[in-house]
Structure 1
Amino acid sequence: MKNQSRRRFINNIVGSSIGLGALPLLSFASKERIYKKTSDELPVINEVDICVLGGSCTGVFAAVRAARLGARVAIIEKQNSFGGVATNSMVNIWHSLYNTEFNKQIIAGLTLEAIERLSKRNAIIKSERSLSAGVTFNSQELKIELDEFVFESGIIPYLHTLFSEPYYDKNGDLTGVVVDNKSGRGIIKARYFVDATGDGDLAYRLGLESYVNELLQPPTMCAHFDGWDGEQFNTLLKQYGKEFDIPDGFVWGAKVPSTNTYMLAGTRVYGVDCSIADDLTKAEIEGRRQIRAIMDMIRKYGKNMNVGLVGLPSYIGIRETRHIKCIYQLSDDDALYGKRFEDAIANGSYRLDIHHQDKPGLTFRYLDGTEVYARPGHPSETKRWREETPVNPTFYQIPLRSLIPHKFDNLILAGRMLDSSILAFSGVRVMVNMNQLGEAAGVCCYLALTQGKSIRNVNYKEVRNELSKGGSIIL
């Protein structure tokens, strides 16, 4: 057998005409049970008012909001825990809950509640007046706290459960989802659905119009290390990164509270769309290769660096894949100039950060008109993207309309698949903003349920009022 490099092995698999998705299915169960049952013959696992697909913080917060109001809610998550990027991808920073001048709080709700609950367990480090972080948290503690949110709210959880396809009634209406888990394949029926899958899997498989931005922001594989020496690492990366084929991207990280562990986000996988199965496989394996390359570089050139790799995520950190067309697309100018919306359901102040596919580093674009291009090992380049003005916007907003697709009366989106242009998305995509989308989606579904309306016909003023009553800051 001819020897081949690990990277060649990955590319051969992903690039083959067969592909991983076409490998034969092997099962100890009978073929009749696996292959011959149609959707109409599948068992109904449960019937609920609202079904949330995706157990990220966004999805959990959607479920919690609806359940606290009185709806019977199920949440479906393909991994073994809730939290998504914040837990399973190890990205342990939530950005500021304040405006850009740090003189007005603009985010509260379940994000603030989670922070307060984690603070009681010393699982939070707060950052004052920081553009890069509002709080740093212990991802493992957050996993358990999200379990508590779910059970306290009476939500029906389904972990290790994979969404397969929509289920329709005889009129072609969406009435359920087909899922697979250890108990087999079955249907969860509901009256309303929240697509919090990140990639918009339910909406996409319903045939709704979608799009992929020209330059997708690349994913990052995080990792946990003991004995981390950030200053020496940055020097090594600049000198020896190319020798170990470590992409020249952007590096940041944070200490995990109440531990001696450091979370590093220092990898970059270019040229992949993680809503495509083969690309996702390639990204996961390449991300881990880059982590090993970092360790090999430290082992070879590090001086007195007793660094140990102690943890890898169960899912690569994905910034962007497909978007679903909705009633309104959030434009670049909407975010850059802080446009106010009458149906606003989320506020954000995180700078627009563009993780480039076509060059190393990233570009920060600020609401005060300044722009900074940052690249590890090189001086930052600062300029203005617009002329100076006496007054600058201090936050931007996301309208409810950007979560509501044109078709299907009982479906709403929650998460990074929202309808947004490229630059606007580079800011609104962060978790403290997405968390608010989940809360809005849960409230909107509840109001539609109790009023017997389509989601599109729910009065946005009622959504905003209910969010405010539940602890959200509505501006």
Structure 2
Amino acid sequence: MMKKIEADVIVVGGGPAGIVAAIAAGRQGIKTVLVERYGFVGGMSTAAMVYPWMTFHADSGEQVIRGIAQEIVDRLIERGGSPGHLRDTVGFVHTVTPYHPEIYQVVAVEMLREAGVELYLHSFVDEVEAADGTIRSVRITTKSGKIELAGRIFVDASGDADVAYLSGAETLKGRDGDSQAQPMTMKFRMRGVDLEQIKAYMLANPDNFYKKTPIDELPGLPLTGISGFYSEWQASGVPINRDQVLLFTGPADDEVLVNCTRVQGLDGTQVEDLTRAEEEGRKQVLLMAEFLKRDVPGFARASVSAVGTQIGIRETRRIVGLYALTKEDVVAGRKFEDAIARSGYPIDIHDPSGKGVTASWIAGDGTYDIPYRCLVSRNASNLLAAGRCISTTHEALATTRLTPSCMATGQAAGTAAALAVLDGVTPAEVNVARLREALIQEKAYL
């Protein structure tokens, strides 16, 4: 007989959005369960080495993402797991936030336990029971057999809108009219890198790097990211469809995270495509490492120290919500009455088939709002989304998918789920003014 567990709020996906959503719900005194398929939490931040977190700030330097996300950063700083928010020496955004993934995993679980969250690791959601537009339960496959998790409100923080899709709720994928999504990337780290040599080379060859690199500030800044080495890359002959080298420094003093592989034309929700992507991504890791050691200053003594547990996925399914955030909303810096989060990250689309990255910048104060309606499923009455699978267009997803924004929508989804339980209403009926007040009390910035 299948084991059955009942809770008020079921959060699926133990990435940054799911972690924060579960903490937010649990702090409201609501019985909350968090389900994660791996044996550790962190999602793309740990399993796929998505690093550093970018960005908590607008271009002006104003911090626009706070709340539980900032609590996590503060705890990491206390544990020696992060230097905090540092100037982005790529120049794409104002700040980046380096962190140590192993310390992050421990801190996150400690915060979940403190909030009273019941955690199920090694648990894969493969079935959703729903009737008449209401989800009754999710079923997880575990080493100890199948378990049914029955809940009142469900938060889909899977990144791939798995709960929405399995429930029969509407989802979208890729660009409007097709399913082309941003490429996947297998990230890896190298140790033995001479960062001082790289910085000296950047100062001597500024035209070989991204146009927004703060070269004038660089002598007095810790090196956090590098985008460029254009001449070396163009002469390399490496068969990867991109136009530059992108590196981020740390966590160690001689270490970099390499964000350069690019696997295009495959679907992150199809097992055959995912299998091919993992194979191709790991081949590209070796090609990139060989190129860096051979041709790029500072890498002569470097070696690969770690490769992602899985390939990094930028885009798959997203829910169809009560509202879909658009590119026009983002670039206009639009503000909404039902805003539950702000972001200062620009639109950043890695071409689904080409070499480049398309950026669109935010007007006005350099921030835009994410409305609560983007978190509420149009079809499933008791379903909220958080993180990468909220309701947006393909273009707007290219900003909301970034980790700090995912944390912010996670806090809103978890808080809204708790309020829905406490008031006996559906997510669509949650009092938004009360939700915003609750978020502000927990130090979110709206």
Shift of 1:315: 1.9
Which of 168, 172, 186 is equivalent to 2:147? 186
Which of 119, 128, 132 is equivalent to 1:157? 119
Over the aligned positions, Cα root-mean-square deviation in angstroms equals: 2.1
Matched, 1:50 2:15: no
Number of paired residues? Answer: 406
Distance 2:48 2:23 in 1: 22
Matched with 1:314 is 309
Retained in 2: the 8 A contact 1:131–1:350?
no
Secondary structure of 1:465's match?
helix
Matched with 1:270 is 264
Task: Describe the shift of the 1:346–1:302 C-alpha distance in structure 2 as closer, same or farther (beyond 3 A).
Answer: closer
Shift of 1:179: 0.5
Task: Describe the shift of the 1:279–1:154 C-alpha distance in structure 2 as closer, same or farther (beyond 3 A).
Answer: same
Matched, 1:211 2:172: yes
Structure 2 runs not aligned, ≥5 long:
202-227
Secondary structure of 1:309's match?
strand
Matched, 1:105 2:101: no
Matched with 1:134 is 96
Task: Describe the shift of the 1:177–1:367 C-alpha distance in structure 2 as closer, same or farther (beyond 3 A).
Answer: same
Distance 1:236 1:228 in 2: 17
Letter in 2 for 1:140: E
Matched with 1:376 is none
Which of 383, 387, 400 is equivalent to 1:415? 387
What do residues 342-383 of structure 1 show as CA deviations (whole Å, max 9, x unaligned)? 111110011211211232121222124xxxxxxxxxxxxxxx
Which of 280, 290, 298 is equivalent to 1:286? 280
Task: Describe the shift of the 1:296–1:394 C-alpha distance in structure 2 as closer, same or farther (beyond 3 A).
Answer: closer
Shift of 1:229: 5.3
Structure 1 runs not aligned, ≥5 long:
1-40, 369-391
Matched with 1:432 is 404
Higher relative contact order (CA 8 A, sep 6+): 2
Matched, 1:146 2:108: yes
Distance 2:282 2:252 in 1: 26
Matched with 1:223 is 188
Shift of 1:209: 1.5
Matched, 1:199 2:163: no
Q: Which moved more, 1:91-100 or 1:197-206?
A: 91-100
What do residues 379-426 of structure 1 show as CA deviations (whole Å, max 9, x unaligned)? xxxxxxxxxxxxx24200110101111122211111111111132221
Q: Which moved more, 1:203-212 or 1:61-70?
A: 203-212
Task: Describe the shift of the 1:326–1:250 C-alpha distance in structure 2 as closer, same or farther (beyond 3 A).
Answer: farther
Distance 1:451 1:248 in 2: 51
Of the two, which has the highest radius of gyration? 1
Shift of 1:213: 2.2
Shift of 1:258: 4.4
Secondary structure of 2:276's match?
helix
Distance 2:350 2:133 in 1: 40
Task: Describe the shift of the 1:43–1:287 C-alpha distance in structure 2 as closer, same or farther (beyond 3 A).
Answer: same
Shift of 1:131: 4.0
Normalised by the length of structure 1, the TM-score is 0.81
Task: Describe the shift of the 1:298–1:351 C-alpha distance in structure 2 as closer, same or farther (beyond 3 A).
Answer: closer
Q: Write the mapping of 1:304-383 to structure 2, written as runs, cut at 5 A.
A: 305-368=300-363
Letter in 2 for 1:238: Q
What do residues 13-55 of structure 1 show as CA deviations (whole Å, max 9, x unaligned)? xxxxxxxxxxxxxxxxxxxxxxxxxxxx5221x2111110000
What do residues 305-334 of structure 1 show as CA deviations (whole Å, max 9, x unaligned)? 112111111121111111221111111111
Which of 234, 238, 258 is equivalent to 2:234? 238
Shift of 1:246: 2.8
Matched, 1:456 2:428: yes
Normalised by the length of structure 2, the TM-score is 0.86
Distance 2:184 2:194 in 1: 24
Which of 58, 73, 76 is equivalent to 1:118? 76
Retained in 1: the 8 A contact 2:336–2:369?
yes
Shift of 1:464: 0.7
Matched, 1:69 2:34: no
Task: Describe the shift of the 1:296–1:164 C-alpha distance in structure 2 as closer, same or farther (beyond 3 A).
Answer: same
Q: Which moved more, 1:427-436 or 1:209-218?
A: 209-218
Secondary structure of 2:119's match?
strand
Distance 2:170 2:252 in 1: 45
Matched with 1:252 is 246
Retained in 1: the 8 A contact 2:233–2:244?
no
Query: Percentage identity across aligned positions?
Result: 29
Secondary structure of 2:333's match?
coil
Q: Which moved more, 1:282-291 or 1:259-268?
A: 259-268
Retained in 1: the 8 A contact 2:324–2:392?
yes
Secondary structure of 2:389's match?
coil
Retained in 2: the 8 A contact 1:336–1:424?
no
Letter in 1 for 2:267: D
Shift of 1:249: 4.5
